[in-house]
Amino acid sequence: MMVRADHLMRPTIVVLCSGQGTNLQAILRAIQTKRLRARVACVISDRADAYALARARQAKVPAHHIDPARFPDRASYERALIALCEQETVRLVCLAGFMRVLSPVFVTHFRNRILNIHPALLPAFPGAHAVRDALRWGVKVTGVTVHFVDEHVDHGPIVLQEAVPIRPGETESQLLTRIHQREHRLYPEAIRWVLAGHTKIVGRSVKKVS
């Protein structure tokens, strides 16, 4: 009973995914190994075939597919997301490969409580093809960014970043694999900082506080 009570008292997060859910798996693993004190209340996907839903069910986490095609517009879809998120007291919404741009309806409701992870050193290479774009530009270094979400794409205040040097002749797939390795370590760490109250947003900066 004490284990169950402790589980319920942990800060609650909701994870939004559209694809494989490898960052979701990293979050679940960090919780399991006690590197992250949190509870994933549920996982939500806009795609029925997202493997992230299977990962959630395997971890005995409620998994929901909310089909955007069932709603007349983006605002009504996002209100459905909000309603599901708020079935429990949600401390943080974590985007993990969620491939929909959130409107002010959702962002305003969860202001400064939404995190996203992006496979580049923002503000360089925003958008859906960051790894491909970095290789096409011929840059020598790319990386990973965890940031708060605002009304603009890949734009909010940055919590953590880590550089990933690009190796000569590296393919997009090879680089993405190495970036994912950094993501899986950095995202749980950023979530831990935010949930523990170790971050303070000052303008466009995120200050680490004790």
Full set of structural domains in the chain with CATH:
1-110 (3.40.50.170), 117-210 (3.40.50.170)
- The residue type at 101: V
Is the pLDDT reported for residue 27 higher than 70? yes
Average pLDDT of the segment spanning 162-178: 97
Distances (CA, A) of 70 to 51, 84, 105, 136, 152: 21, 15, 18, 38, 25
Q: What is the pLDDT of residue 183?
A: 98
- The residue to which tokens 């971050």 are assigned: 199
Average pLDDT of the segment spanning 47-57: 98
Average pLDDT of the segment spanning 162-169: 97
What's the rounded Cα separation, in Å, for the pair 125 and 200? Answer: 25
Mean pLDDT (the chain) is 95
Q: What is the pLDDT of residue 210?
A: 77
Q: pLDDT digits over 66-114, tens only?
A: 999 999 999 999 999 999 999 988 999 999 999 999 999 999 999 999 9
Q: What is the pLDDT of residue 88?
A: 81
DSSP 179: H
43, 56 contact by CB (below 8 A): yes
Q: What is the pLDDT of residue 135?
A: 98
Among all residues, which ones are annotated catalytic?
118
Average pLDDT of the segment spanning 159-182: 97
Strand-strand pairing, 199-202 and 205-208: antiparallel
Q: What is the pLDDT of residue 51?
A: 98
What's the rounded Cα separation, in Å, for the pair 100 and 107? Answer: 13
Q: pTM of the predicted model, to two decimals?
A: 0.94
